Every structure is written in structure tokens, then in C-alpha cells.
Amino acid sequence: MVPAMLNPIDITLNATYIGNMQRTDRYTHNEAFGENIRKLREQRMGSDQTFSLRQVAARCGVTPAYLSRVERGDVAPPGEDTLIKLAHELGEDPDVMLAQAGKISADLRSAILARPQLFAELIRAIKSMPDHAVLRIVRDVRDGNW
Amino acid sequence: MPTLEDDTLVFRFSEIDKDASFSIDFQRTLRIPDTDKTYSLPPGLGSFPLRHAEDFASNLPSQTSERGGVILPMWQAEAMWLHFRNDGPGYDLYFPVAIKIAAGKINAVTGETWRPGLHRAPQDYMVSPDQPWLDGFAIEKGVIRQFVAMPLGAGYSVEEQLTSESEWGGIQISITPLKKHVWKEKRAAWEKQRSLRLKRERICYLPSKSSMKMGLAAGGRMRQKIYPDTFNLGDWDQASAQRVFVTLVHAKDWKKITGDAAPNEPPTAKEYSAAGLPWFEYYGKDREALPGGEKFGAIKSVVKIFTTLTGALLPNSQDIETGVPHAVGPGSKGARPVRTSGSWDQ
């Protein structure tokens, strides 16, 4: 069992790639996350005017004022549903965006909580492996006789 | 070899390009009424779960384990569509693949018996990303009959109707990449143009063991074109093709086989339309469609066979009003939405 003082989610988050952000420094984290969102949105807006703050906020179901505060780092990153919408809007991988926000998706959370010790050990074991080695862990679909 | 990731089959061709990959997921959907009316595209209601067949070998017929691949649960008379996704080095350059799909080893595009390799005259495969999905058997030009699951051995499946056998069932998939030099040329041309244009295609994703198996039968009529290949047949690297056998098992047996709860039964088309939810019409590039498989001319639909066998009408088979469909595809402003979150588990 995982020791009582350690939340399995925290174990996983600490071991998971979260960019160059420090989860312990919430102010810096919010600011870095917001800056990244603003940068991505403004890049898109360079070629497509529908990526204005107002229009992106509307498509993600939040107010422009709230999105502006997220981009300035005044508030913590939004919840999972909004983050996933933002990721799709900005052409980012939802899991990467969730990790940058210091979160993990509900399906991963429930998978980890079902077997917390196993997943914590697994992530610690693979955290420094190169990508190609990690990809080998994803099992091939066996072909048979047909 | 393909991999199974998050209920999706992923085919990587890293020997051709590190960015070259393609994936298929199997979307739950409404069964459209099986009448003379030709319907628009129904929505995707989330993906079917997939599991490695070898993980549950002791709970499956030995034949299923020998075929390898994956297992997928479907309710009787439930419909599905196959959702194709291409990846590549940029959001406007996707790695093209040739896709062969069969049900019960009957080619879904031509109606011919499965054979290895790609063929023309008639073209027995599709090319993605031109072809974003497949909802059924291509019975005529621009029209398919929806994939509908029925127990194998009961006489409904297209395999049984065309071969008088119920040997295979399931879905067979083969994915063929472009040859390396053809892809390199295509990629080089794209990289040259890259600085000249910045375009973004937005994707808004917003019993007994033998009776476990299901086969795909022909459901209602739906508007869907199968596009001809614009590459040369020799451009495809047939030696690098990857394939998967998807065994369909009855959803009522899913928990017994895997230990996981089966997905709930999907809503009916009538319930969906009554809720005012949208149907879709694909606006592709202005291209001709393949003619459809001649052999499918002899196929009877699920409702016809059900009525012949029982004298009754299959429930939820009456025509419904679908309203004006939403336009999707490159000739419109969006992609066919797929529900990517939520759960169908009980």
C-alpha cells in the first residue's frame, strides 16, 4: 500500500513530465501555464483572426475575462473539460496540456487509483527511459492465423 | 506491428518516416432505419472498448485466440462505423495509407472474398485521409448499407449470405503505407511550400463459446462515397502492410470474458432524432465515387431477413425524420464530431 501521507496522484504527478514548471511554486506555475496558452493562441491568431481571446473563450465555453486571467496567470489553470477544449482549439495534445496544468485526466486518475503502487513504480521505472524504449512497452497487437 | 492504445488501433511506419502513423477507432452509433430511404450520417457516440484477444484466451474459443488481434463487444443489431485518423509531420500533411476492410473476410468495398494485396479494377481499398470513415458495405455508387452486428450462424451476416459459411465473422483490416521514396517526394514538396502557406485544418473532436461471436450484416442505406485512389498502385509499399483481426463478441458475454462491464445499449435513432440532435452530411472534395460492390446486389438487409425468419418487423425499423443534416468535411467547415469523453460503462 502507498503510505497514508502520500497521495498517489501526487506521486504520479511528481514523476510525470510536466515541462519545466515547478509544481511547488504555484504562482510561477500559473504564470508559466498562462504565458504558454497566450503564446499558442497568438501564434494561431497570426494567420487566423478567429483566434482572438473573445472567440477562443466562446468556443471553449468560458468568458473572455476568465481566459484573460488564465493567460495572465492570475488564476489557476482551468478544469479538465476546459483544458481539453483549449488543447483541441490550440492544436495541442490534451494530455500534454493537462500535465502542463499540473493535472491528469480523469481516466488516467482512475487507472492509477485502481493500482496506485503498481503505477507509481512503473512511472518511476520508466521516467528516464528514452521515448523509443517507452514506446516498446506499448504492446503490439499479435497477428494470428486467418 | 500495430499497437492497441486507448481503445484505438495504431499503425506506425517508422521505417518510412518517424512521423508516419495511422489509427482506427470503432465508433458506436445509431442503427439507422432499414427501409428504402437513404439516410445522412449518424453521429459517433464514443468508441467501442478493445482488448487483446490473447489476454483472455482461456475465456474465448481457441479459434479466436489463434487468429490473434483484438476483441470488441457489440449488442445484437447494434451499428458501428470505423473512424480513420492519419498523422504526419504537420497539421496539413498527413501520411497517406491504403486501407482494406473486410467483414467475415468479405471486402466491404467490392463484396469479393478477402485476398492479400491491393487491387484495381475494381479498387478493393480506400485511401485515407481522403476517406475519413467507413460506415458500411459499399452497395452502390455513393451509398452504403450500415454495419450492423448479428450473431454469427443465424444467417444474417454478409459473409453467410455470400459464402453460405459462418467461418470468420469479425472485421479484418490491412493497412498499407506509401513507398518511402514516394512519401519523401510528397514530404519534400510540402516542406518547400510550407513557408508559403500557413493553413490549419481544424479538427473538432469535440452461452456457449460458439455463440459469442458476431458477424456484420447489412443495415439501412446511408449516403457515403468511397473515393478512388489518386496514387499509382505501384506507389504503395505492399510488403510493409500491417493487419489486424477484430473479433466481435456479443456484449452480453463481455463481462464474462474480460471482467469489465459491457457498454450500455445505445439510444435508438428515433430517440436520438426526437431529442433534436444532429445528423451529418459529408462534403468531400468534388470527386467521383467508386461504383460499389456488384456482389452486394444480392445481399438482403437485416430487417428483410428478420421478417422472413420471424414474420415480425425488427423493432425500431420505421423511418424517422432527421431534419437538415449538418455539413462536415473539407468542403464544409468542420469535421464529424466524435464524443471523446464520458463512459458507456454501466
Domains in chain B, number: 1
pLDDT digits (tens, 9 = 90+) for B97-107: 999 999 999 99
pLDDT digits (tens, 9 = 90+) for A52-111: 999 999 999 999 999 999 999 999 999 999 999 999 999 898 989 999 999 988 888 888
For residue B246, being part of any structural domain is answered with yes
Asked whether residue B91 is assigned to any structural domain, the reply reads: yes
Residue B343 located in a structural domain: no
Per the CB < 8 Å rule, is B200 touching A144? no
Is position B312 within any domain? yes
| Cell reading at B186 | 510528397
Find cell 497568438 and name the residue.
Answer: A42
Selecting from A81, A85, A145 the residue whose C-beta is nearest the C-beta of B66 gives: A145
- Which of A18-32, A123-137, B3-17, B194-208 shows the lowest per-residue confidence on average (mean pLDDT)? B194-208
- Within-domain flag for B292: yes
Q: Given an 8 Å threshold on Cβ–Cβ distance, is A141 in contact with B168?
A: no
Provide the grid cell at B174. Answer: 490491412
User: If pLDDT is split at 50, 70 and 90, which confidence band does B12 have?
Assistant: very high
Say if B113 is an interface residue toward chain A (CB within 8 Å): no
Share of chain A above pLDDT 70, in %: 78
Domains of chain A: 1-16+104-146 (no CATH), 20-103 (1.10.260.40)
State percent of chain B over pLDDT 70: 88
For the cut 80, the answer to whether the pLDDT of residue B135 exceeds it is yes
Query: Is residue B86 within 8 Å of B129, Cβ to Cβ?
Result: yes
All 3 cell numbers of residue A28?
510561477
- Would you say residue B335 lies in a domain? no
The cell numbers describing B109, all together, are: 468495398
Pairwise CB contact (< 8 Å): A143 & B69: yes
Nearest to B170 by CA among B112, B102, B118, B79: B102
What DSSP designation does B170 have?
Answer: S
Q: What angle do CA B124, B128, B129 make, to 5 degrees?
A: 155
What is the radius of gyration, based on Cα positions, of chain A?
Answer: 18
Is the ipTM here above 0.85? no
Distance from CA of B11 to the nearest CA of A (A): 10
Query: Does residue B339 sit within a domain?
Result: no
Of A44, A88, A141, the CB nearest to B205: A88
Nearest chain B CA: its distance from A21 CA (Å): 26
**Residues of B with CB below 8 A from A95's CB?**
none
The pLDDT value recorded for residue A27 is 56
Q: B66 at the A interface (CB within 8 A)?
A: yes
Contacts of A86 in chain B (CB under 8 A): none
- Nearest-angstrom CA–CA distance, B122 and B109: 9
Please give the residue range of the domain that contains residue B315. Answer: 3-328
Cross-chain Cβ contact B244/A141 below 8 Å: yes
For B168, the closest chain A residue by CA position comes to A146
Instruction: Indicate left, alpha or beta for A55 from its phi (over 0: left) and psi (-120 to 50: alpha).
Output: alpha
Angstrom distance (rounded) from CA A132 to CA B206: 30
> Does residue B158 lie in a domain region?
yes
Please report residues of B whose CB lies closer than 8 A to that of A138: 3-5
Q: Which residues are B3's β-sheet partners?
A: A140, B10
Instruction: List the grid coordinates of B314.
Output: 425488427
